[in-house]
Amino acid sequence: MFGIPRSYLFNRFVTFLLTVWIAATLIWIIPRLSPVDPAEVMLGRMASGGAFVEGSEQILQSLRERFGLNDPLVIQYFKYMWAVVTFDFGVSVASFPTPVWTLIAQALPWTLGLMILSLIITFIIGNALGAFMVWERTPRPWKVVIPSLMIFTSIPPILSGLLLMYIFSVKLRWFPLTGSYGLTVTPGWNWDFIASVLTHGFLPALSIVVVTFGFWTLGMRGLMISVQGEDYVNLAKAKGLKPRYILYKYMVRNAILPQVTAFALKIGLLVSGQILVERIFSYNGMGKLLYDAILDQDFAVIQGVSFIIILMTALSVLIVDMLYPLIDPRIRHQAEAA
C-alpha cells in the first residue's frame, strides 16, 4: 500500500484494536465501581415532583431488566462489547426512551466542526510562531511579542470563553452570545444557515485557540532548536540557498514530524477541553452532551460519548501512523529492514 510494508500496517492496526478494546473495557468497569444504580436514578426522576410512584419495586425490577443490570457481570460485559461493535449504546436515562446513538449523532457534527477548525488554526499558528522564534532572520520585535503571547496559555478555556463573551457579545455585540445557530434560521445546506453556524462557532473556537496555540509554539521551538544545528542545515547554508527556503525545506519540514503525532493525540484532549466551553456557549456538541450526562448521572450516555472520543483519538493516531512513512521515508526504510 503506497510503498508501506504490510508488517508496518499490520502492527499499527493491531495496536489500534488493542487500544480501543482496553479503553472500552475501562469504560465498562469504571461506572460499575460507582454505588449509584441507574435504575434507581430513573425511578427518582419519576418521583422528582414529590409524587408517590405506585408499584415502584416492580418498576425498579423492570428497569433493571431493561438495562440488563440483573445479568451476571460476564454476560453484561459481552453484551456491552457487542453493543460497542454495533454502536448500540442503549437508551438514555435522562432522555428516555431516546437511544444514546441518536443523541451522539446529533452532537458529533458540531463537535467535529468546532474541533477540526480550532485544531487546524492552532496547529498552523502555533507551529509558525514556534519556527519564527528560532529563525535568526525573524525581526527582533517579533521575538519579544511571541513569548509575551504565551501568557494566554495559562488561562483555562472557560475563562477565555467568558472573557470573549463579555467583550465581543455583551459590549461590542459583534457575535451572538450562545447557541449553535440562529433560532430563525432553517437548518440545511443554504448560505443563511452556514453563515449563522460560522458566526455562532467563532467565539467558542477562538476561546480554544487563544489558550492552546502556546502548546504548539513551545513544542515547535524546542524541535527547531534541535534541528538548526544539524549538518544538513549547515550544508544548505554553505550552498547559499535562500534563508526562507532553508527554513521551510530543511528546518520546519524535519522539525514538524513529532508535531504531526501530537496533532492526533491532541484530539482527545481538545474534546475534553471543549466540554465547559460548549456548556457556557450552549453549543450543542459532544462536550455539552457529556457535561449534562454527568450531571444527570446518565451512565449510558457517558459510556457512549467517552467511547466515541477514545475511538476518534485512536483512529486519528492510526491515520497519522499510516501517513508517517509517506511523510518521512526513513520510517519506511526502517520498517523494510526490520
**Mean per-residue pLDDT for 119-123?**
82
CA distance 86 to 16: 17
Structural domains of the chain in order of their starting residue, each with its CATH number: 106-297+311-324 (1.10.3720.10)
pLDDT digits (tens, 9 = 90+) for 134-154: 888 888 888 788 887 777 777
How much is the pTM? 0.71
Chain centroid, CA 273 distance in Å: 8
Q: Which residues pair with 99 in a beta bridge?
A: 91
- The pLDDT score that the predictor gives to residue 121 is 83
pLDDT confidence bin for 65, thresholds 50/70/90: low
Contact 117, 201 (CB under 8 A): yes
- In the predicted model, is pLDDT for residue 4 greater than 70? no
CA distance 138 to 142: 7
Q: Which residues pair with 91 in a beta bridge?
A: 99
Contact 247, 279 (CB under 8 A): no
pLDDT confidence bin for 70, thresholds 50/70/90: low
pLDDT digits (tens, 9 = 90+) for 277-327: 777 787 777 878 888 888 777 777 888 888 888 888 788 778 777 776 666
Helix 257-280 / helix 100-134 crossing angle, nearest 10 deg = 130
**Mean per-residue pLDDT for 236-242?**
84
CA distance 101 to 246: 49
- The pLDDT score that the predictor gives to residue 52 is 47
